[in-house]
Amino acid sequence: MTIASRTLRDRRLELVVGDITTELVDAIGNAANAALRGGGGVDGAIHRAAGPRLMKELRRRHAGGTPTGTAVATGGHDLPARWIFHAVGPVWRGGASGEADLLAGAYRACLRLADEHGCRSLALPAISMGIYGYPPDDAARIAVTTVASHLRGETTLELVRFVLRDATVPPFSAALAALNRQD
């Protein structure tokens, strides 16, 4: 169910409530942990839906994991999406440990991978807003402004869709409304 959308240079930024594992897009983002070994929340749901070949690929290609603020690509395996971009967001430690830059970096890494893989559509989760404890209003603002900035530049992407759970909708809706006021 689409909650809100915005057009930026003939590109769409959407907010929807749904299940990211069923999105019919070129790639999905995963709110992964640095070890890239699966976990709970979105990460666990993606691993379950993608099937065991996902973990085999991660172990083979990314045995050392990836640092916070970065992302790596794998195949989509049993998902409808061709690619999964495993982004590692920061654990909230009060805001004085570079969390904002790391969170923006995780989103930028997914966007960069989308361009490198020639993706026209990308679905993203609310990175770091679950068990990592990032304050929802700040996390949503960073996510929306980072993606909007990318969509205003040179990119292969035509659609970026934030796929949210009900609890994350209000902060994302507010961030999108604030973006509308800036233009």
Name the phi and psi angles at 158, rounded to 5: -110, -20
Residue by residue, DSSP assigns 65-126 as: ---TT-EEEEE-TTSSSSEEEEEEPPPPSSS-SSHHHHHHHHHHHHHHHHHHTT-SEEEE--
Q: Name 45's Cβ contacts closer than 8 Å, sequence gap at least 6.
A: 19, 20, 21
Query: Is residue 77 a contact partner of residue 46, using CB atoms and an 8 Å limit?
Result: no
Q: Is 19 a catalytic residue?
A: no
Nearest-10 Cα torsion for 107, 139, 160, 10 = -110
Catalytic residue among 10, 19, 26, 43: 43
Dmax over CA atoms of the chain, in Å, equals 46
Query: Is residue 152 a contact partner of residue 10, using CB atoms and an 8 Å limit?
Result: no
Positions marked active-site: 43
